[in-house]
């Protein structure tokens, strides 16, 4: 990442939030990649015009430079001019000479970007790469500007529904079914005790992970320095209808429960492939997930996100959860839905705790009173002591267009972490694509891992269908 100038600061500059400062540290320097597949060839002038007139350029984060004051603290400095030619990067030729497949070529390009140089700080920290030969656009946005909820809402504010270009996309709310508030005192008391107990257990585990507790080494383990290793990227593709069918097979299950059951089953399958019978049953493999802490779950209206005093405010407002899965031999484990049932039990306990809020508050406390170096060390230790990262962003329920050009898919990934395995899932219309970014010297075959996840869902679907028929 380029150096920033201290001399450019003024009294009107806005301080970078503690979470934003964390993502600007060298060890945690995170860039988000939003991948947009277009149905028709890209009209460069039309797309530039769309960007120029979008709400994005009116947002202070996308029209400010990241500078440092005389004390070295990061601040947002409003710039008076944005040169779109420096932000919209057009690549006319295919980005890979070794692949005739558009998806593989784009994934290879993203894998190279994930370990490449950061975004320069002599311009607002975002870029839009247009891969003309592949009909793909890639938003490259620094995580200091905002999290996935903020950025998805910003992007969709410029989109329209494909079936009615006068309407904005309809977003899945992510809300769970309402609960009966007319509960007895005993039920409320039990719920409070459960919240206190699970919060205490998970907070203690969280603190131990910061210090010395570490996953057992497996064929997917990363570690210190792995964020610098070369990457490969593959895509696992799911049908939301299949996931919905599976979740109906287990009472009160959610799409997130299904996703984690698929990950648990898929990783077990992959480990069986790499080293059969090398691990004992039940070995814990811990993932790190980010949870939205805004007042309303799901994606937010842009007007809500723009209000600094809103509970749905713009920026990075998420907590960290430790989500363990357990290895089970895929050949001896006869019931595919067992992975879903175990995942649901674990996630239900997490929902009853305040682990996400605790991780967010402790992060703010450490950044404020101990500085970015200590906060970065703690976050880096958690990543080194766990095995993978997972995120899930809800997208529009119907197909959408940008500037009249229909979008065929939405995907997301990020720059590298100490994890050798990073997964980001985005739903779009009736599909969900999961980008699987791996350190290729540790996981050389991410396409096979993607197939393990896809087959895990299909097996669960078959088992769920059998239950429905009986």
* Tens digit of each residue's pLDDT (9 = 90 or more) over 3-54: 444 445 666 788 888 888 888 888 888 999 999 999 999 999 988 988 888 8
Distance (Å, whole) CA 365 – CA 301: 29
61: region left, alpha or beta (phi > 0 left; psi from -120 to 50 alpha): alpha
- For residue 14, report the phi and psi dihedrals to the nearest 5 degrees: -95, 130
What does the pLDDT read at residue 425? 96
What does the pLDDT read at residue 28? 86
Could you give the residue ranges of the DSSP H alpha helices within 301-439? 302-306, 337-351, 355-370, 372-384
Q: Where are the domains of the chain?
A: 11-161, 186-394+415-469
Judge whether 27 and 87 are in contact, CB under 8 Å: no
Close Cβ partners of 147 (under 8 Å, ≥ 6 residues apart): 290, 292, 315, 316, 317, 318
Domain 186-394+415-469 classified CATH 3.30.559.30?
Answer: yes
Give 157's Cβ-side CA count (13 Å radius): 22
For 362-368, the CB contacts below 8 A with 24+ separation are 363/18, 363/19, 363/22, 363/320, 364/18, 364/19, 367/18, 367/19, 367/21, 367/22, 368/18
Give the tokens for residue 285. 């493999």
By residue count, the chain amounts to: 470
What does the pLDDT read at residue 7? 44
Mapped onto helix, strand or coil, the DSSP state of residue 211 is helix
Count of Cβ atoms closer than 10 Å to residue 325 Cβ: 25
Judge whether 433 and 410 are in contact, CB under 8 Å: yes
Distance (Å, whole) CA 411 – CA 274: 27
Q: How far is CA 435 from CA 38, 144, 425, 447, 462, in A?
A: 18, 21, 6, 10, 24
* Sheet hosting strand 126-131, strand order edge to edge: 88-91, 126-131, 136-142, 31-38, 405-414, 400-402, 160-161
What does the pLDDT read at residue 470? 64
Residue the block writes with tokens 């320069």: 120
Mapped onto helix, strand or coil, the DSSP state of residue 415 is coil
Nearest alpha carbon to residue 36 among 24, 49, 52, 51: 51
The reported pTM is 0.90
Give the tokens for residue 190. 């039990």
Nearest alpha carbon to residue 30 among 143, 133, 119, 197: 143
User: Which CATH number, 3.40.50.1980, 3.30.559.10, 3.40.50.720, 1.10.3470.10, labels domain 11-161?
Assistant: 3.30.559.10
Element (H, E) at 286: strand 284-292
Residue the block writes with tokens 């984690």: 260
Mapped onto helix, strand or coil, the DSSP state of residue 182 is coil
Spans in the chain with pLDDT lower than 70: 1-11, 171-183, 295-315, 332-333, 470
What does the pLDDT read at residue 309? 42
CA distance between the termini of the chain:
59
Judge whether 236 and 392 are in contact, CB under 8 Å: no
């Amino acid at each position: 990442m380029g150096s920033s100038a201290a001399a450019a600061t003024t009294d009107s500059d806005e301080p970078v939030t503690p979470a934003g400062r964390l993502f600007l540290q060298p060890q945690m320097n995170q860039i988000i990649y939003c991948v947009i597949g277009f149905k028709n060839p890209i009209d460069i002038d039309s797309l530039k015009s769309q960007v120029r007139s979008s709400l994005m350029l009116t947002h202070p984060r996308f029209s400010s430079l990241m500078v440092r004051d005389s004390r070295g603290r990061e601040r947002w400095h409003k710039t008076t001019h944005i040169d779109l030619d420096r932000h919209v990067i057009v690549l006319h030729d295919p980005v890979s000479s070794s692949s005739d497949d558009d998806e593989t070529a784009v994934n290879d390009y993203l894998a190279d970007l994930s370990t490449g140089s950061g975004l320069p700080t002599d311009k607002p920290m975002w870029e839009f790469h247009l891969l003309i030969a592949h009909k793909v656009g890639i938003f490259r946005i620094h995580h200091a500007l905002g999290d996935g909820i903020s950025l998805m809402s910003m992007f969709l504010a410029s989109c329209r529904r494909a079936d009615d270009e006068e309407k904005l996309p309809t977003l899945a709310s992510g809300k769970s079914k309402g609960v009966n508030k007319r509960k007895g005192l005993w039920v409320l008391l039990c719920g409070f005790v459960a919240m206190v107990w699970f919060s205490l257990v998970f907070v203690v585990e969280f603190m131990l992970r910061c210090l010395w507790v570490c996953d057992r080494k497996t064929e997917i383990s990363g570690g210190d320095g792995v964020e610098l290793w070369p990457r490969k990227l593959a895509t696992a593709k799911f049908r939301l209808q299949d996931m919905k069918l599976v979740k109906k097979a287990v009472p009160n299950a959610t799409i997130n429960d299904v996703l984690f059951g698929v990950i648990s089953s898929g990783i077990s399958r992959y480990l069986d492939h790499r080293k059969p019978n090398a691990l004992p049953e039940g070995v814990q493999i811990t993932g790190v997930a980010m949870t939205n802490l805004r007042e309303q779950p799901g994606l937010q209206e842009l007007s809500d996100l723009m209000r600094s005093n809103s509970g749905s405010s713009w920026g990075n407002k998420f907590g960290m959860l430790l989500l363990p899965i357990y290895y089970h031999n895929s050949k001896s484990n006869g019931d595919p839905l067992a992975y879903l049932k175990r995942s649901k039990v674990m996630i239900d306990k997490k929902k009853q705790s305040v682990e996400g809020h605790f991780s967010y508050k402790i992060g703010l406390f450490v950044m404020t009173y101990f500085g970015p170096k200590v906060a970065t060390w703690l976050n880096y230790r958690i990543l080194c002591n766990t095995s993978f990262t997972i995120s899930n962003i809800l997208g529009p329920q119907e197909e959408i267009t940008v500037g009249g050009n229909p979008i065929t898919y939405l995907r997301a990934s990020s720059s590298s972490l100490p994890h050798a395995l990073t997964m980001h899932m985005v739903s779009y219309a009736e599909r969900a694509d999961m980008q699987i970014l791996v350190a290729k010297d540790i996981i050389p075959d991410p396409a096979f891992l993607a197939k393990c996840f896809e087959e895990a869902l299909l097996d669960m679907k078959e088992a769920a269908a059998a239950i429905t028929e009986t």
